[in-house]
Chain A
């Protein structure tokens, strides 16, 4: 996809790297297909696999789309390590927030919202 750019990546300046217009259109196509796929899959009952399979598939597609936007539209792929670290750390903190909140709510019993 980006042969000629990645060859220069060590020499050229920060932020100048990108995948070019064909690459941008390719990412765009992936995002559109992902959106349509999300909609189609949401209408199919996947509960026979396990309860909540629909949500898992929807989130997997959303994470793929997010990765495409971050890597190519936001140029994370060519960014310094510190940007990679910031992006990954933010999801790590988010996971901490989710995990510690849920380990509380999920272990409180059924009556927590019905005093």
Chain B
């Protein structure tokens, strides 16, 4: 044992903590690590890039259906989540800053803050997905909230559970369309106003007319199917992004444990820096998702 240590000491006069034996020095290790991380991020860009391509193809085909679907999203929640993620990126940058300074306590504080903002983001996503579920906007049949049509015979005000339902349907005849009826949990969309608006102003493309019309008029079912494409893309992109957030939270938990153990110092902090790169990357994806999913066609709302 002692001879081994001596042999090592002969080759390496000084061995900084965290230096792997295949690297000459910390600088070489840091360069290799960061190039490896960037290669991973490049393929992540292509991973999301496939979804952005799908978005580009379908949005360029059916812009009004995309605008209609987008206008249904609540830009407040999307905007709030954008700001939450930007704050978490700031706390992540400060985590790296204090890791570089070797400040264990502030480093841990900012990891915890980053995790809190990450969880806030996911909480808002749960609120949004629940809203889609309740309004029949999940594009998979059967995965929406199921609600039977209120039968005319059981409109008696005896049961407290059905009270709100009965009140909504019996108040006025015009209000009947607001009652959510979806016995099989299918994707629902009835509003074709944006297609008609574009029709009135003569800027429906030929592809859109092919896609929305039956016998020369806007067909609500055909328009619904195009809006459904938008919601497929919405769920695929935000879902993949949310998965990345969950993985990021796992990374943060691991970092927190390592930081608590005092692993990182001014000499060895690359795991913090690399996790930071990942976290910022996920933030950048959202920076694009917010305007492309939530705000497209917002200017049609008057």
Query: Interface on A for B, CB 8 Å cutoff?
Result: 13-16, 18, 21, 24-25, 27-28, 31-32, 35, 38-39, 42-47, 51, 54-55, 58-59, 61-62, 65-66, 69-70, 72-75, 79-80, 82-83, 86-87, 89-91, 93-94, 97-98, 101-102, 105-106, 110-114
Q: Determine the chain A residues whose CB is within 8 A of the CB of B287 once the complex forms.
A: 62, 65-66, 69
Instruction: List A contacts of B284 (CB < 8 A).
Output: 65-66, 69-70
Q: A13-B30, A16-B100, A18-B97 are in contact. Are A38 and B38 (CB under 8 A)?
A: no
B291 touches A62 (CB 8 A): yes
Q: Once bound together, how far apart are the Cα atoms of A14 and B298, in whole Å?
A: 44
Partner of B291, one of A42, A47, A86, A87: A42
Residues of B within 8 A of A44 (CB): 299
The answer to whether B42 and A80 have CB atoms under 8 Å apart is no
Contact of B57 among A35, A59, A105 (CB under 8 A): A105
Distance of A16 Cα from B27 Cα, bound (Å): 11
Chain B residues within CB distance 8 Å of chain A: 26-27, 30-31, 34-35, 38-39, 41-42, 45-46, 49-50, 52-53, 56-57, 60-61, 75, 79, 82-83, 86-87, 89-90, 92-94, 96-97, 100, 203, 205-207, 209-211, 269-270, 273, 276-277, 280-281, 283-284, 287-288, 290-292, 295-296, 298-301
Residue of A nearest to B281 (CB): A74
A-B contact pairs, 23 of them (CB 8 A): A14-B27, A15-B270, A16-B100, A24-B93, A24-B97, A28-B87, A28-B89, A32-B83, A35-B82, A38-B291, A38-B295, A42-B291, A44-B299, A69-B283, A73-B89, A73-B90, A86-B39, A98-B56, A102-B56, A105-B57, A105-B60, A110-B206, A113-B207
The answer to whether B61 and A105 touch across the interface, beta carbons within 8 angstroms, is: yes
Min distance, Cβ B215 to any Cβ of chain A, angstroms: 14
Residue contact A94 to B27, C-beta cutoff 8 Å: no
Contacts of A47 in B (CB 8 A): 299
Bound together, the chains give a CA A32 to CA B34 distance in angstroms of 28
Closest 8 CB pairs of A and B: A42-B295, A58-B291, A110-B206, A90-B42, A110-B207, A45-B299, A42-B298, A86-B38
Are A93's CB and B46's CB within 8 A? yes
**A72's closest neighbor in chain B, by CB?**
B93
Residues of chain A within 8 A (CB-CB) of B276 are 73-74
In the complex the two chains form, is B49's CB within 8 Å of A83's CB? no
B299 near A102 with CB under 8 A, answer: no
Which B residues are in CB contact (< 8 Å) with A31? 86, 89
Contacts of A59 in B (CB 8 A): 288, 291
* Complex: A55 Cα to B70 Cα, angstroms: 13
